[in-house]
Structure 1
């Protein structure tokens, strides 16, 4: 059965549901691998070494995902959803196997890039496939169910990562993707008909590549600046390359027929502020995720499984905040208070985290994580609502994609910079350790893992925990600074009351958007 149209509306219900469940499974795989490594990473470092590369295991995946996400949707329009979706899953599955077979941190990071190149297509292809499966009104219901997939991955991921790494080995964090990937590929291959779009849009390859280069080079440079020792030649070359990439990107986007990031949307105040807030907030939240797990295992002495359980109520609080803020916005039409409250909760939680040590009760740490996660839930969907209602209908898709891209890039920056801050703090702490204590520690602080620290003599372990705690303070205060700037930007958002009904496209101004047409932005 071949479909030349752009939908699969006429498929038998059972076949539709098989494809739909396969799409959700693919989406779940991609989002799970952002969450699941958080609690498993300290165990990986214990075996593979190189604590200084800790942040790059997550950053590499996010960078690769961000680099290819803009392309997958249009590739699906050109070559059909089926081959593009299957390719993305196959690449992700091969990357997962490569991660499980990694023999060093460098090899693991390279495998995570491969995995991210596939993961970038899973969410995009899944949403596009669901749109092709169901009629518009029915589609809204099934897209809504998809939100549960993200929630489930955030709940299961940290717990599964901690339990698997502690019980049977960190490799199984990645190996579980292989049978799931095989089943999804088989389901799509046999159940999904080939579907292509009637119109085939052009792909802005130069713009996408220049944007990816700018972000990647920026992440590399940010970590170079924090690296111990004197700056090398690349510390001076990278900013030049970044500037050239950004200039080239702007020039390409100004003339591209279908740009990756239309520059016109950046002239909208709400969109520009929301993108900036999302970038900074993602640096502070996604960029902090893996470091919370390392902090809890190192400073408080909790094992990986227990740390995973600590993430469980925190994830639920993100869900509660997201749903609750959505309900309140629907009733009142006001969204501005929620990103403001989100930034306040985030910075307060991180300031209090600087007081946490091995004497802090578990319930106290759990309460802090719930506060932090509640703040995440208050801004994630709120800013999405803000940008989608600030632009004309024709720009909703690209604006939504831009927000997702900014969040991934922010997370990658945060993970890399926090890694540099932690390493710099440990190197500085090493200089404060006496020679006698250094000999008792056995290894430099930057090479100690939670397992190694727990095996040290009591006085040496206490010294290591103290130095790690101070190093983490730098990470937390950096997050506080980001939240302060984001709070200032959130206050600058216009206090718009969203309309109950969508304005006609003809009534909406070119830049002001739908909310502006009704509310007078």
Structure 2
């Protein structure tokens, strides 16, 4: 049974309007009356978390299932050359639509925004299972990404509404465990479904979990809108959507990521007209986006006054750099064991198991520390240093590295980065006003997903550039170019080469991966530098304290704006 502090009506806002306690000068007073907060019973909270986290689990499960099915799908349609776009279309769509859900959750409500995300995700997933062609399947993955981009964001915002910040990190850690569980079993489940029933059933299998999440969210997630939005007519609510800003932001991010994707996937040179044209397009739309947000949009999708503040900017950069390094490592470490150590694919993937366990434990540990101490700054720096140490150790791998190092050096990376992702999210929420929480959460997920795609794309482009140069130095002769092309496109070829050519291929991969690993360490160093600028904010232990802090943050924000 849901209840509220005091005796508000059913139409009362989740938290009192940020303008309810403004004085005549337009600024809030710290001694304003205690705010109204929204509460739920323990049983309702369990149901809400089950609905939200089952969607998070499904999003992670879907990602690794699809990664497993790319080759079978390409073979089924006889279009293996287009198979990589199955993943690319989804990730591009996620990156473009993730920031929109923060504002949508303020307009449609947490339930409305989550149901929209689940509907789009479900529509795309069902369409994938029924797709008659590769082109339709790629388009369906893009539709699924439109919804997938909002699932994590809205789930995080909704939990923030219900859980005080001092405990919020622990709940984020549990959500990350669900995400890790989905990502961990997605590969085996996808492979089993493909071998037993066919790849289409791997998509259709997700429908029961999707239906459960949809029903529970529609039934239990009844967090009310703010009074300011609730009383507005539909036309006024629609006007609060920054359509022009959203379109220009999507074009900016999409053009940038497509340029990086074409460079790495299609092996196009940086000077290629398509790559250059997309970079120029991204810059042009980026300038237009900033102009729209600064001078035209009354409700910007990414308020510039917000992104220029110290802690939000530091959190955004740390999430961007950290995600680039983390996903580059996830994709390139197995490649190291396959090409340099010549391990089997199963053994190469197994080396990521300690890293995966560390991700789950690192997030929960960070939440536990914040709950016990109410502090996060020192933990954030130590976690970033752990990730930096791990990437430095990986960059030092060579033929003489012991097995102990090869198995354990990744653990501080997973543990530290999971902790950083958790603490920086809480640091960001703790320093903004209530009206900015949803937009701020969406922004962090935007920088994370953008970092993930850039990390994979740019590391792939760098790897191929260095690899090609090293192979051409070591392999020469009449059929050299054809052999180099085969080595670059299929690592299985290395085992079939004669000893001298095999050594040349292994050494070339080792040199190329060494450069990539050094860049990962550099990115983690930038993550650490970004974390230095994060400000320590109190972590409220109750919802009442949390609302009071939101109001104080709003007062400071108003003063900054008026002083400017």
Please report the TM-score for the alignment, with normalisation by the length of structure 2: 0.73
The 10-residue stretch of structure 1 (465-474 or 80-89) with the greater mean CA deviation from structure 2: 80-89
Match of 1:488 in 2: 529
The 10-residue stretch of structure 1 (355-364 or 470-479) with the greater mean CA deviation from structure 2: 355-364
Match of 2:429 in 1: 388
Distance in 2, Cα, partners of 1:370 & 1:435: 40
Deviation at 1:274, TM superposition (A): 1.3
Cα contact 1:159–1:305 (8 A) shared by 2:
no
Deviation at 1:434, TM superposition (A): 2.5
Cα contact 1:158–1:308 (8 A) shared by 2:
no
Give the 3 Å change call, closer, same or farther, for CA 341–44 of structure 1 in structure 2.
Answer: farther
Q: Mind listing any 5+ residue stretches in structure 2 that lack a counterpart?
A: 1-9, 14-37
Q: Give the 3-state SS of the residue equivalent to 2:437 in structure 1.
A: helix
1:368 to 391, 409, 419: 409
Deviation at 1:485, TM superposition (A): 2.3
Cα contact 2:391–2:524 (8 A) shared by 1:
no
Match of 1:519 in 2: none
Distance in 1, Cα, partners of 2:380 & 2:471: 39
Give the 3 Å change call, closer, same or farther, for CA 233–66 of structure 1 in structure 2.
Answer: closer
Deviation at 1:355, TM superposition (A): 4.2
Match of 2:420 in 1: 379
Q: Give the 3-state SS of the residue equivalent to 2:255 in structure 1.
A: helix
Match of 2:183 in 1: 157
Distance in 1, Cα, partners of 2:329 & 2:210: 31
Give the 3 Å change call, closer, same or farther, for CA 114–445 of structure 1 in structure 2.
Answer: farther
Distance in 2, Cα, partners of 1:456 & 1:107: 39
Deviation at 1:496, TM superposition (A): 5.5
Match of 1:71 in 2: 100
Deviation string 1:17-38 (CA, Å, 9 cap, x unpaired) is 7786454332212123445566
Q: Mind listing any 5+ residue stretches in structure 1 that lack a counterpart?
A: 517-521
Give the 3 Å change call, closer, same or farther, for CA 137–407 of structure 1 in structure 2.
Answer: closer
Cα contact 2:56–2:151 (8 A) shared by 1:
yes
Distance in 1, Cα, partners of 2:371 & 2:40: 34
Distance in 1, Cα, partners of 2:554 & 2:46: 40
Match of 1:242 in 2: 282
Deviation string 1:149-195 (CA, Å, 9 cap, x unpaired) is 43233245246526855996699788434222245337746994698
Cα contact 1:445–1:464 (8 A) shared by 2:
no
Distance in 2, Cα, partners of 1:265 & 1:68: 19
In the TM superposition, what are the counterparts of 1:399-438 in structure 2 within 5 Å? 399-435=440-476
Distance in 2, Cα, partners of 1:347 & 1:48: 40
The structure number with the bigger radius of gyration is 2
- 1:184 has 2:210 as partner: yes
1:258 to 277, 299, 313: 299
The 10-residue stretch of structure 1 (226-235 or 185-194) with the greater mean CA deviation from structure 2: 185-194
Match of 2:507 in 1: 466
Distance in 1, Cα, partners of 2:512 & 2:196: 26
Give the 3 Å change call, closer, same or farther, for CA 303–350 of structure 1 in structure 2.
Answer: same
The 10-residue stretch of structure 1 (367-376 or 32-41) with the greater mean CA deviation from structure 2: 32-41
- 1:91 has 2:123 as partner: yes
Give the 3 Å change call, closer, same or farther, for CA 229–273 of structure 1 in structure 2.
Answer: closer
Give the 3 Å change call, closer, same or farther, for CA 96–469 of structure 1 in structure 2.
Answer: farther
Cα contact 2:263–2:269 (8 A) shared by 1:
no
Distance in 2, Cα, partners of 1:429 & 1:30: 39
Distance in 2, Cα, partners of 1:237 & 1:351: 35
1:208 to 226, 232, 246: 246
Distance in 2, Cα, partners of 1:261 & 1:150: 25
Deviation at 1:373, TM superposition (A): 0.7
Q: Give the 3-state SS of the residue equivalent to 2:375 in structure 1.
A: coil
The 10-residue stretch of structure 1 (158-167 or 19-28) with the greater mean CA deviation from structure 2: 158-167
1:279 to 313, 317, 320: 320
Q: Give the 3-state SS of the residue equivalent to 2:505 in structure 1.
A: helix
Deviation at 1:309, TM superposition (A): 3.4
Deviation at 1:376, TM superposition (A): 0.9
Match of 2:489 in 1: 448
Deviation at 1:383, TM superposition (A): 0.5
Match of 1:316 in 2: 357
Q: Give the 3-state SS of the residue equivalent to 1:444 in structure 2.
A: helix
Give the 3 Å change call, closer, same or farther, for CA 504–87 of structure 1 in structure 2.
Answer: closer
Deviation at 1:98, TM superposition (A): 7.3
Q: For the aligned residues, what is the CA RMSD?
A: 4.6
Cα contact 1:42–1:449 (8 A) shared by 2:
no
Distance in 2, Cα, partners of 1:112 & 1:294: 26
Deviation at 1:83, TM superposition (A): 5.7
Cα contact 1:154–1:315 (8 A) shared by 2:
yes
The 10-residue stretch of structure 1 (343-352 or 119-128) with the greater mean CA deviation from structure 2: 119-128
Distance in 1, Cα, partners of 2:163 & 2:526: 40
Number of residue-to-residue matches in the alignment:
504
Deviation at 1:421, TM superposition (A): 0.8
Cα contact 2:355–2:415 (8 A) shared by 1:
yes
Q: Give the 3-state SS of the residue equivalent to 1:231 in structure 2.
A: coil
Match of 2:20 in 1: none
Q: Give the 3-state SS of the residue equivalent to 1:431 in structure 2.
A: helix
Deviation string 1:210-250 (CA, Å, 9 cap, x unpaired) is 11111122223456778564713345433432232122212
- 1:336 has 2:374 as partner: no
Q: Give the 3-state SS of the residue equivalent to 2:352 in structure 1.
A: helix
Cα contact 1:69–1:121 (8 A) shared by 2:
yes
Give the 3 Å change call, closer, same or farther, for CA 124–298 of structure 1 in structure 2.
Answer: same
Deviation at 1:445, TM superposition (A): 4.8
Give the 3 Å change call, closer, same or farther, for CA 362–276 of structure 1 in structure 2.
Answer: same
Deviation at 1:289, TM superposition (A): 2.2
Give the 3 Å change call, closer, same or farther, for CA 357–510 of structure 1 in structure 2.
Answer: same
Cα contact 2:86–2:141 (8 A) shared by 1:
yes
Match of 1:352 in 2: 393
Q: Give the 3-state SS of the residue equivalent to 1:301 in structure 2.
A: coil
Cα contact 1:161–1:173 (8 A) shared by 2:
no
1:217 to 241, 255, 267: 255
